[in-house]
Amino acid sequence: MIQFSKVLGMMFLVLGVMLLKAASSCVVIILEFSLWLSYLSSVNFSLFFDCSGLLFISTVLLISGSVLIYCSWYMDDEVYYKRFIFLVLLFVGSMVLLISIPNLICLLIGWDGLGITSFLLVVYYQNNKSLGAGMVTALVNRIGDVLLLFVIGALVSEGSWLLYESCLSLSYFYVPIILMFGAITKSAQMPFSAWLPAAMAAPTPVSSLVHSSTLVTAGVYLLFRCNFLLLNSSVGVETLKVLSLVTLVMAGSSALVEVDLKKVIALSTLSQLSMMLFALSLGLVGVSFFHLVTHASFKALLFLCAGVVIHSNHKCQDIRFLGKSWPFLPISMSCLVVANMSLCGVPFLSGFYSKDLIIELSLVKGEAGLIYFLEVLGTLFTSWYSFRLMLNLMYGMNKGVSRVSFSSESNILKIAYSSLLVSSVLIGWVLGLLVEQLNSSVHLFSFDKSLASTFVFIAVVSYGLSILYQSKAWSKGGMWFLATMWNLKSLTTQMPSKLLMAYSNAVVVSLEKGWLEKVGPQGTFKLISGISKLNQGYQQYQFLKVALLSLSFMALLFLLSLFL
């Protein structure tokens, strides 16, 4: 089975490259299959492939191929390896269906498939932590499913649920807002952000898929396809803009104090998803999709590098005990540096082409000053925690875990890294050449251009100052507030449980142990007991009196009959 996953991974890589070339031609292909046909009605299943769909499918296949090859090294000692690969393939297949199905009803196959398989993969290790994380993930995704079903019901008057139709016969005030909230449950925006770091309980290869090009991007891709519906609602656009910016700042500030390696990368995913949704709220539909594709490559590479560090250090994920990895894992650390630099938007890496374009285009939109401040602050946080993570892993002097193996990095890792490394460096430039819609430029004033170009330098200075003054700058209350994602974890997981428990206790006291008992079992018992006591008293005293009176009356009648 390990050899099969390697071969399958190589096939996915080749197919992904072929689809990337096909996406440059911008050919629209519609395949429609008739599942049931009668004189009155018909049931059809459609597949829709255009430039955006083929490009995203090629990205998913490239990352899935690298992950499958990586799994043959990371999960080689797994007892149920066949089951794991089967779940990963179901996960990838659900995402491909989500991308290629244009009908909102049939799209539920991929949408629900992602939710079910993600739950099975998060609880794969079968412990309490995995089960709790899986339940949170599944429940939040169920909210999105319900909202999507509501949108389908609301659009029933249209007679069609095709996502590529750019106009509707009626105006819907509430449908774009509900669609937006349903999509952000998958993309973990406020107030549904708590499940994303919790999903790190899954194996690292799954995390690289979930947080790069599949589950968390499903909501962004749905809004990208339904942008004609979203952009016609000013309330939906403004709500999305506010939620994305608040999530961007929240995720970045929380990552500054997070010590779990995978959760830091998960929070970075959350911040980049916020950038995509912020671009969508500004009407930058193509640029948002551009960042969606470029982000997928370097984020998958970042997760694979983090998995090597964790696998080589007794499964330890605390960055306070992971240091000096550069001498032992040079290839992984080199790839991690490239992925981090691309995440920060260092010029001429893939992240620079899309992320810098979002920032520059937002500066010419004429938004309020607070919008720009939150955007710049969130971008600075991204570079800040990226340098913190990178320096702690490579040069940290806090090494506290002895390595499991001192052998050189496997050739399997080099193959898994290769395609993602090339994508992290070149995919932004290549897409700008191949896809005409993504080849755009912005002319800014010198101040705006310098502001967008100096984020990395400012973040390095901020990180150095935070190291020098960390004992004075941070209070315990502030650290706790940031580490709990602005108390969002307790508000969205613990507080609902406490409220439901309090409500259940009130119901038990007032109903089960209150008037329901008096009306029901206890009341019936008292009524029957009273009737029984009355009957018992009647049988003890009144029965004797009646018997004597009856005998006296019978004796009187007998005497009268004798004399008469």
Query: Given this model, what pLDDT does residue 352 score?
Result: 80
Query: Given this model, what pLDDT does residue 541 score?
Result: 67
Q: Which residue has the tokens 């004429």?
A: 366
Query: Given this model, what pLDDT does residue 40 score?
Result: 59
d(CA 210, CA 203): 11
pTM assigned to the model: 0.81
Query: Given this model, what pLDDT does residue 474 score?
Result: 55
d(CA 130, CA 202): 7
How far is CA 381 from each of CA 210, 242, 272, 378, 462, rounded to the nearest angstrom? 23, 18, 11, 5, 9
Query: Given this model, what pLDDT does residue 379 score?
Result: 84
The secondary structure of 361-417, three-state, reads HHHCCCCCHHHHHHHHHHHHHHHHHHHHHHHHHHHCCCCCCCCCCCCCCCHHHHHHH
Burial class (CB in 10 A: 0-12, 13-18, 19+), 99: buried
Nearest to 442 by CA among 383, 365, 343, 347: 365
Query: Given this model, what pLDDT does residue 347 score?
Result: 78
Query: Given this model, what pLDDT does residue 158 score?
Result: 67
Query: Given this model, what pLDDT does residue 117 score?
Result: 87
d(CA 20, CA 51): 9
Q: Which residue has the tokens 């390095």?
A: 460
Residues 175 and 236: beta-carbon distance below 8 Å: no
User: pLDDT of the chain along its 564 residues, tens only?
Assistant: 667 777 888 888 888 888 877 777 767 788 877 777 766 556 677 888 888 888 888 888 888 888 888 888 887 777 788 888 888 888 888 888 888 888 888 888 888 888 888 888 888 887 787 888 888 888 888 888 888 888 888 777 766 666 665 566 556 678 888 888 888 888 888 888 888 888 887 888 888 887 777 788 888 888 888 888 888 888 888 888 889 899 998 888 888 888 888 888 888 888 888 988 998 888 888 888 888 888 888 888 888 888 888 887 777 788 877 777 777 788 888 888 888 888 888 877 888 888 878 887 887 777 777 888 888 888 888 888 888 888 888 776 555 554 544 456 677 888 888 888 888 888 877 776 665 555 555 555 555 555 555 655 666 666 566 665 555 545 666 677 777 777 777 777 777 777 878 888 887 777 767 766 777 777 777 878 888 877 777 666 666 777 777 888 888 887 887 776
